[in-house]
Chain A
Amino acid sequence: MSAAADVAPVDEATPGDSGALARRARWSDAGLFAVLLALALLLALALASALLAVADASPATVFDAIIDGSLGSAPALATTLNHTSLILVVAAGTCIAFRAGMVNIGQEGQLSIGGLTATAVALGLPFAGPWAVVIILLAGAAGGAIWAVAPAFLRFRRGVSEVVTTLLLNFVAFQAVSYAVNQPRLLQEDVRADSVTAPSPQSNRLPDDDMLPALSSGTGYRLHVGIVIAVVLALAVGFLIRRTTLGFRLRVFGFNPRAARRLDVKPGVMGGGALIASAAFAGLAGAVLLTGVTMRLQGGFSSGVYGSFSNNFGWEGLVVALVATYDPVYAIPVGFLFGALRAGSGALTATGISPTIAAVVQALVLIAVTVPALLIVQRRRRREVQALRRERI
């Protein structure tokens, strides 16, 4: 059977050649990415400046104010880090879902429901203190998780895209929170005897002992331990995905569900589990928001993005996960960037500029950062698809 030697089959023309191909591909990817990213960021900056010019504001003043308001002082930095903790917890969870190929875009709702269950448990507990805080945080995670059960079921029993269901459930969640804080027999605050006004659509304040412990505090600021929780969770998820057998199977499932089926990976268990786990992270973020910042559940009638308890933290966490290419470790610096942007925009009010410019800047940064990254991923996928098809020449 040695006669094969003189046939020179195509795939053995030059040994190691495919490796060179891979290396070249990686380098051209990196170079292209850098160029695209620089271009995209410049374009985003130009667009933001143009918008500010339309509104008769000086871009330099605005950007100064944003930097000053996010990093310029101890209170500013504390606000940034508190924001970062929420965004990062959501992002770490989102990475789990996306790595398993599950497109969860229901973080806003899951976070809100997490806040709701955490509030209910906190106000129902007969005691307060450190143990109560732990229980409240777990209750938040459980609440978020419950909110993903229906999407997981519909996805794996009915074949309905989880994109649609998780999205729709956001709006249901906002209404559930709104309902709870508008019903005196549910979570609406008690009417105080000395009050002349009607009760607001918000819950009672949690006992002070249920507050998330502070790492540092001073006049006008309080940095809570959320940032530690968030970083530890992000690192843990990173370890889980990269270094454990469970993470290995999760990645196999995310990349190639057919191959995963042959590894005894049950799609419903792995995919549904990843979806529910990511929702639990969002729910946990809701509990951190509650015990770290607001100390009570609030929620208006709005069915839109603003005015909900989640206050856009869910979307931002999702965006951070996307920008970090679903890597929870990369999500740490990206989360910090978005936390800073958010804190800085809060400080804008003083300059007389509408703080909604922050939303614009965030969206532009998102597009500026994700489009190049996704283009690279897509280019690679296109090569894969074409490699697959080439086999059928």
Chain B
Amino acid sequence: MDDVALILDSAARLSALLLFAALGELVAERAGTLNISVEAMLLGSAFSGALGSWLAGSALAGLATAILCGLLIASVQALLSHRLAVDQFITGLSLNLLALGVTSFLFASFDMDSESMGTFRVPLLADLPLVGDALFDQSWLFYLLYPLVPCTWWLLYRTRWGLQVRSVGENPESCEVTGIDVKKRRRQAISWCGLMCGLGGAYLSVGLIGSFTPNMTAGRGFIAIAAVIFGRWTIRGTVAACIVFGGTDALRLALPALGFELTPQLLIAAPYLLALVAMLLIRPGRQGPAALGRGYTEFA
């Protein structure tokens, strides 16, 4: 029983990381940007979080620098792809390479000793059998997700801004004649993604590990993209996909320690394969926002 609780605990941590990034990516994609620089945002924030907490000697300062870094990378992506109209994939690709290079280089150049964020145990609830530790004994950044998930839903589906964001991802032309600034909404959606990734990066380096290692996100940004696709661009689906992907990751880490023979490679590859299978099964024709991945040029 303890083993199961342990695995659930680990799954919750890993899912949480994915969920931060995926909540951001979901909004960016609904606005029409297939934002592959989510990986750069996560990695950059993880590094700057560790750096900030080391320099200021406070985990909170790390959180602040991580968010700033997420927003900075987001603004570069937004500037290039939705102001200067550079292809969004190429922008994202460049940013990913840049983030990996810069963080690895700077990491090798400093001898960082980062602060770690404390955990918080919710009284009573944490004593629940099995899921208690997983859901209620975590780094306190983790608890932000409880309000963030409904908050993102509310933002997308219950606010004017959300309606406009969803509309620019479907039919930017009609939005323009209706008077919505298409590119501005898309830039804002990317900024939201940067903010979420800032939280996610800080959660990874400052909250979970307490230090930075080169390429520590190891492609989790891409898994977040896969989760959004697997979740068919809905909040509920995305959350479910993050839990599935985080869960397989946890199994990969936990099973060998528990003495199970298994091939770690298959488990690492599982989220990607699952995402591919999901795409195979989705009905053709309903493949996400109609204008996803397309740049936009205004009338005048």
Contacts and interface: CB of A to CB of B under 8 A. Distances in A.
A302 interface: yes
Contact of B273 (A51, A172, A178, A385): A172
B57 to A, nearest CB: 20
Prevailing SS type, chain A contact patch: helix
Prevailing SS type, chain B contact patch: helix
Given A103-B89, A158-B280, A167-B222, A303 B105 contact: no
A389 interface: yes
Contact of B90 (A322, A360, A385): A322
Interface string A173-190: 001101100100000000
Given A105-B89, A301-B264, A354 B34 contact: no
A347 B218 CA distance: 26
A200 interface: no
Given A356-B108, A371-B84, A157 B284 contact: yes
A150 B276 contact: yes
A52 to B, nearest CB: 9
A322 B285 CA distance: 30
A356 B106 CA distance: 9
Contacts of A160: 279, 282, 287
Contact of A378 (B85, B94, B276): B85
A355 B147 CA distance: 43
A360 B105 contact: yes
Interface residues of A, number: 58
A386 B101 CA distance: 39
Interface of A: 51, 54-56, 103, 105, 150, 154, 157-161, 163-165, 167-169, 171-172, 175-176, 178-179, 182, 301-306, 315, 318-319, 322, 354, 356-364, 366-367, 370-371, 374-375, 378, 381-382, 385-386, 389
Nearest to B215: A304
A289 to B, nearest CB: 20
Contact of A364 (B98, B269, B293): B98
A356 B276 contact: no
Contacts of B272: 168-169, 171-172
B125 interface: no
Nearest to B86: A374
Contact of B106 (A55, A305, A319): A55
A105 B93 contact: yes
